């Protein structure tokens, strides 16, 4: 990504990664991404705001040196310390050990562990400022947007907010300013997916962050990923406001997920479904292997009751079920009421193993679950009915804390 002059003494010096297709192991990035960094010069001091992923260090250095020599940088400001932001820090400090690193209080702690070196540090608190000479940078704490260390940096002289991941997107085009985007539908998709993946677990913190942003006079938002925002600032804020106001959980909705080789576990699922419907729950029953895992994950996030069923084969629950369990967002679904069930032949470890794992994720698993030996008998189906009724009653008596 070539150096871009935003205004006098204010430059974009980040890099592009258009070929990236998976970010942080689990997030699909079909439009690539950027690692944005900004160089801000005053009459006395120079600050680099963010660095880039260490794989792109050489290109990053070339971009910086188009504007100034590394020896002229006084501060590196890290609004967030994840390695896609801080990955080049250690190498930059080797080139100029006199640089002072500015981050939030937890950020300085994290950077010590990330770089495994000592460095000049300033732990910025909310409202702290650095004067570059004609440009004053103000630091605004923004915890859990999306790490505990997150903060914003604001330049009143430029009316620019360096928002870190807030309002970002994994999206890459040659000219990364919103007014030049050639494929707006693709960008909007990436923008929403980024919110869902990164910020939706932290809705209350998003609202608090928006309140802080609303107090500032902003003409430019310099994100850490994706386009710089100039014309779409209010639209971006409104989308975040709307998405964060939406309740993620629909009351009295139940999702039953199962796999079943010969219909035995399915029979237990059908019994639970009938009881839930009778109790007034909007109920969906899905065979896991017949549905997209991403769609299932969204359904898990929005249901108020979750039930998982698996046969036991070779002393374990089945892989498709474990794959779904591994995708459960423990933050979004904390306290969610769950039930477990399944058939077995000669051992039956699958059900208690599922219960144990769900409890370790801080979901509220009701009882021990129900196990049926081979084809469920009338007594075992009755046990499934009673278990489901008990699960429903427990929710009436003790509302789960996920409805927040």
Task: Write out the residue limits of the CATH 3.40.50.360 domain(s) in the chain.
Answer: 253-397
Fold of the CATH domain 253-397: Rossmann fold (3.40.50)
pLDDT attached to residue 17: 96
Task: Write out the residue limits of the CATH 3.60.15.10 domain(s) in the chain.
Answer: 4-245
What tokens does 126 get?
């909310």
Closest CA to 36 of 194, 197, 221: 221
253 within 8 A of 302, measured Cβ to Cβ: yes
Closest CA to 355 of 371, 343, 339, 342: 339
Residue 110 CB contacts under 8 Å (≥ 6 apart), including other chains: 81, 103, 147, 149
Return the half-sphere exposure (C-beta side, CA atoms, 13 A cut-off) of residue 16.
16
Q: Tell me the H-state helices in 96-199.
A: 105-115, 184-194
Fold of the CATH domain 4-245: Metallo-beta-lactamase; Chain A (3.60.15)
pLDDT attached to residue 26: 79
| pLDDT single digits (tens) 181-218 | 999 999 999 999 999 999 999 999 999 999 999 999 99
Please tell me the distance from the alpha carbon of residue 170 to that of residue 197, in angstroms, as a whole number: 11
Q: For residue 362, give Cα distances in angstroms to 216, 329, 365.
A: 38, 10, 9
| pLDDT single digits (tens) 241-263 | 999 987 778 899 999 999 999 99
User: pLDDT digit of tens for each residue in the chain (404 aa)?
Assistant: 789 999 999 999 999 999 999 998 878 999 999 999 999 999 999 999 999 999 999 999 999 999 999 999 999 999 999 999 999 999 999 999 999 999 999 999 999 999 999 999 999 999 999 999 999 999 999 999 999 999 999 999 999 999 999 999 999 999 989 999 999 999 999 999 999 999 999 999 999 999 999 999 999 999 999 999 999 999 999 999 999 987 778 899 999 999 999 999 999 999 999 999 999 999 999 999 999 998 999 999 999 999 999 999 999 999 999 999 999 999 999 999 999 999 999 999 999 999 999 999 999 999 999 999 999 999 999 999 999 999 999 987 754 443 33
Q: Is this prediction's pTM over 0.85?
A: yes
pLDDT attached to residue 398: 57
């Amino acid at each position: 990504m070539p150096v871009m002059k935003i205004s006098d003494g204010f430059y974009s010096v980040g890099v592009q990664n258009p070929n990236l297709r998976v970010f942080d192991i689990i997030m699909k990035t079909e439009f690539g991404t950027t690692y944005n960094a900004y160089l801000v010069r005053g009459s006395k001091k120079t600050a680099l705001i963010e660095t880039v992923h260490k794989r792109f260090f050489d290109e990053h250095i070339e971009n910086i040196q188009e504007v100034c020599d590394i020896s002229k940088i006084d501060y590196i400001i890290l609004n967030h310390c994840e390695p896609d932001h801080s990955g080049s820090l250690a190498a930059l400090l080797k080139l100029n050990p006199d640089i002072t690193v500015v981050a939030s209080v937890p950020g300085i702690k994290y950077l010590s562990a990330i770089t495994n070196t000592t460095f000049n540090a300033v732990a910025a608190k909310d409202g702290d400022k650095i004067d570059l000479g004609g440009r004053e940078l103000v630091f605004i704490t923004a915890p859990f947007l999306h790490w505990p260390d997150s903060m914003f940096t604001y330049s009143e002289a430029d009316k620019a907010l360096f928002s870190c991941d807030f309002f970002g997107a994994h999206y890459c085009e040659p000219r990364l300013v919103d007014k030049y985007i050639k494929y707006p539908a693709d960008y909007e998709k990436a923008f929403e997916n980024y919110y869902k993946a990164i910020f939706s677990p932290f809705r209350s913190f998003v609202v608090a962050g928006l309140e802080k942003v609303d107090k500032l006079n902003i003409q430019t938002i310099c994100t850490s990923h994706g386009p710089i925002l100039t014309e779409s600032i209010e639209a971006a804020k409104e989308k975040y406001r709307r998405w964060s106001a939406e309740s993620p959980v629909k009351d009295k909705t139940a999702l039953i997920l199962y796999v079943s080789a010969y219909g035995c576990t399915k029979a237990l699922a059908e019994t639970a479904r009938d009881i839930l419907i009778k109790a007034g729950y909007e109920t969906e029953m899905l065979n896991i292997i017949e549905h997209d895992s991403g769609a299932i994950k969204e359904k898990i996030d929005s249901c108020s009751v979750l039930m998982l069923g698996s046969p036991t084969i070779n002393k374990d629950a089945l892989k498709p079920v474990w794959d779904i369990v591994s995708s459960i967002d423990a933050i979004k679904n904390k306290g969610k009421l769950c039930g477990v069930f399944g058939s077995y032949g000669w051992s039956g470890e699958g059900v208690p193993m599922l219960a144990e794992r769900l409890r370790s994720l801080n979901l509220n698993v009701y009882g021990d679950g129900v196990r049926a030996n081979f084809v469920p008998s009338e007594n075992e189906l009755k046990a499934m009915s009673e278990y489901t009724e008990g699960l429903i009653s427990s929710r009436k008596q003790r509302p789960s804390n996920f409805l927040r």
